[in-house]
Amino acid sequence: MKSQYRTLFAFIALLLAVSLACNGGSTPTAAPIPTTPPTSIPIPTKVISIPPTSAPQQINTPVPSGNTGNSSDLYTFTDQNSLLAFDLPGDWTVEHVELGDQVYSDADSYSDTFSSPNGSAIIESLVIFSETSIDNSVSAGAALDLLHRFYSNTGKVGDIRISSDQIMQDGSERFEWKSKGGGYSGRTYFEIRGANRKTWLMFTAWWDDDTDQETLDIIDNAIGSYYIP
C-alpha cells in the first residue's frame, strides 16, 4: 500500500468522475459515488507491506501511545481539538500521528487509530485542516481517493468496492465498502466542518471478514456513540 502522495483538494474535484450508483437504505438520501481518483497524482515511492489477510495499515508509521486502559470497560475518547468523541473499550490500543502535509500538500492533518486487542478490527479518525474551502464533491472525492490509496489491499483503484453511499441525518456521508483481495470490510463517514468549510473529518472502521461478533458489536457501539463534544 502506498504511503505518501501530494495533491490539492481542489484538484481532486476537477479530476474525479462521478459514475457509480449506490445501494442506499430507505431513509437516507443516496448520493452519487465518484469511481475514478485523480489520474495525475504522482506515484508514491514508499511502500508499506500488508499481509493479504490483515486489515490495511494507516497512512504513516505511528508513534505508539499504548493502551487506553487495561480492561474492557468503556471510556470516552475525545479528539484533541474537541471535534469528535466516542466510546471504546480501554483495552484497545491507540496511536496518534501528526501527519502534517503528508496527506495533501495544501492541508495539515493528524490521525488517531484504535486497534482491537486481537488485531482483527481498527477504527481511525483522520482530521484535515485545508487552506481552502471544501465543497461536497471535493469531500466525496477525497474520501474515495484515500480509500483507494491507503485502505485498499493493493494501494490503487480496483480493490475497494463501495456497496453503499448514503447521506446521514447529521449531514455526514457514509461509504460502506469491502476489500476484494484483502478479506476485510469497512464503513467510512466523512464531513465538512466550520463556517469557512476548511475542516474535514474522516472516520473509518474496518474489520477482518472473520471478526467475532463481540468485536463487531464494539464497532457498532463506537459508531453509535459518536458525537461532537
Beta strand pairing call for 107-115 and 93-100? antiparallel
Can you give the pLDDT at residue 28?
A: 40
Amino acid identity, position 128: I
Instruction: Write out the three cell numbers for 64.
Output: 505508539
Q: Quick check: 216 pLDDT over 60?
A: yes
> What are the structural domains, with CATH classification, of the chain?
9-224 (3.40.1000.10)
pLDDT (mean) for 189-195: 97
Note the pLDDT tens digit of each residue in 23-59: 444 434 443 433 333 332 332 322 222 233 333 333 3
pLDDT tens by residue, 63-82: 444 555 556 799 999 999 99
pLDDT number for residue 33: 38
63 vs 211: which has the higher pLDDT:
211
Q: Which residues contact 49 (CB under 8 A, 6 or more apart)?
A: none
Q: How many helices (H) and strands (E) does the chain have?
A: 3, 13
Predicted confidence band of residue 215 (pLDDT cuts 50, 70, 90): very high
